[in-house]
Every structure is written in C-alpha cells, then in structure tokens.
Amino acid sequence: MATIKAYTADRIFTGDHWLDKKSILSENGIIKDVIEADALPRGIENKFFQNCSIVPAFIDLQIYGAYGKLLAVYPQADSLFALNEYCKKGGAAFCLAAVATNTREVFFKCIDAVKDYWEKDGDGILGLHLEGPWLNPEKRGAHIESLIHTPALKEVKDLLEYGKGVIKMITIAPEVCSKEVIDLILSYEIIITAGHSNATYTEAMQGFENGITAVTHLYNAMSPLQHRQPGLAGAAMDHPSVMASIIPDGYHVDYAAIRIAKKVMSDRLFVITDAVTETDEGYYQHQLAGDKYEASGILSGSALTMAKAVDNLVSHCKINLSETLRMCSLYPARVIKMDSVLGKIGKNYHTKLTVLDKDLKVVDIIF
C-alpha cells in the first residue's frame, strides 16, 4: 500500500510563487497536493524544515566530474556516483554528465559507464552531454585542437547508435556541421546546442532554423556580440525561443554581462556549473586555481555547485531569488523537455525538492 509523506517548511516556492506555512503531500514520488500545514491529516509522516524554504530541485546540464574523478579520465560507474553525490550536496537532483572533445574510445567508454551506473540503480544522472568534437578550432578554448573536426555522417551515425538512450545533448559548432548531420542527431531525439563556434549571425540563425534549440555557456568560446558582427552571442540574444546556458562564477562571465543577458533573454537564460575536478591525467589536466580550474594556464572549468550559482546570481547579479531559482530548475527542465514533471512544485510533478536555509545553503535534498 502506498504511503503518503508530507514535507513542510516556512516557505515553499512552487516555481511560480511563494507559499507560507504549507505542506507538500507526496505519494510514490509524485506530488499529490500542496495544502495548509495545519490541515495535515493525522497519522501522515511529516518532515518539517524550520526556518527553511523548499524549492524545486536544481538541474545541472553540464558537469564533468567531482572529487578527483573526471569522467573522461575515469569512465566508470564509480565516477558517476561521485558526481551524483557532488550534485546533490549542491542541491541538484539531476544532471547531464559532460565529456569534452575526446577520442571515439573515450566517448564509447563513457557511454558504457552510464549504462553500468543505471544497471547499478544509480539515480540522478540523466545521460551524457557531449561537448564536441564537432566544433570550430578557432573557438576551442581548452579543448584539444587535434581532436576537433568536421563530422562525416557515418561517424555521427556510429556514435549515436552506440549511445542511443544515453546521449541526451550534444554541443556543436553550427558552421562546421551540415544540415544532414543536424537532422541525423535530431532523429535520435538529442538536444543540439551551439557552442565553441565562430559562426556569423546568419550562420547561427540558420543553425537555429535547422533545429538547434540552445547555446552552450553564453559568451564563452563563441563569436561575440559586436555592433557590425553580432555573432553567435548576438544571435542567441536576438532569437525568440533559443535558450542559452551561462556559468555564473564571476570568472567565465562578468556579473554585469550576466545581468545584461538576463534583461535581454529573460526566461531563455539558464544556469550550468560547467564544473570539473582536479586531475593530472588525460587530455584535460585541470588544476584548481583559487576557486576556478585551469588547464595549461587556460580557464577550463568552474568549481561551482548549483547552490553557489544561486548565491552568486542573487548577491552579485541582483537577480531576484524567484527568477534565480527558475534559472536553476524550471528552465533547464524546459531545455530537456521535462518541464511537465520537473522544475515546479504542484500536482503530478515529481517530488524532487531542495531545502535551503535563510542563507541559501542546502539543508537537504528530497529525491
């Protein structure tokens, strides 16, 4: 027989508005209702979080590793368990494990690692986000130039077939990928996002027309917004529906630039951590430099958690808390077409909740 559980806090953010002194009723991991806290039926197990807020759990669509286990270096289920633990400590119930430009062998091993993780009942990892290798070397950032290339259809087909059901998102440079390649990727129901690209405004807009629905880490490693050459950054801002991720650590993007993008893009801008971990093996030897990571002296990844991203957006970007929370939950859910069950607190949504104290620190995650 199903057991109904209740979760109560001083405040609950539904994804639309704030409620005071309410309780969330959950049955079999699905929210049944949100009711007055003092109207809870007798006998229901109730977990009360005093001086806290319950919000929709965060979703990180680009994170590479944690606790010394970069997935590309250690393509094993253990690395994904470590990654999931890191995400949850930062308030994220779900993530896409990311792999940067690499060899075919590494990509295949990472696909195997996700399958093994799922077979071991690992939760929270929705699949893989492949960032590369079909990028523009002129905007490679810390990616390995010798591995970046224009794809052939057979190569794409082989990778997608092997990773069917595991690969959920791929970052490409639209100017180096043909419409046939884009169509093939889309036929596997994979989200395509544009990044590490030197596309002109026209090329970027054509890519969006061809089915690219998002942009990877806005401003970073892309043709910039200039008054005579708007580039990929300008195209992302100008398009009516394309969404874009951003890394709010204060290093990848100046906080003022985040505020500007937010004013222009509104609900089309969402958060990723782009977090990596320290390693001295493999192609990407990330070293901690303060509270960011570098590889060969080049900025290569963040040390963010989603909770820290929330704090930065509120404290430094002066974005209101409600909208900040949506940038970390509802909008990522929208990107991966899961916003009908994730990113909000309401009837028939999954009971995936993050509990924050008054200082926006993670107290608990309900998964």
Please say whether the beta carbons of 64 and 128 come within 8 A: no
- The question of whether 274 is a catalytic residue gets the answer yes
Q: Catalytic: which of 249, 274, 311, 339?
A: 274
Three-state SS annotation for 239-306:
CCCCEEEECCCCCCCCHHHHHHHHHHHHHHEEECCCECCCCCCCCCCCEEECCEEEECCEEEEECCCH
* Beta carbons within 8 Å of 337's beta carbon, 6+ residues apart: 191
Instruction: Please report, in angstroms and rounded to a whole number, the separation of the first and last CA atoms in the chain.
Output: 20
| Phi and psi torsions of 272, nearest 5° | -125, 160
How many Cβ atoms are within 10 Å of 241's Cβ, its own excluded?
Answer: 7
**3-class SS at 181?**
helix
**The residue to which tokens 């077409």 are assigned:** 337
| Phi and psi torsions of 307, nearest 5° | -65, -40
The catalytic residue positions are 274
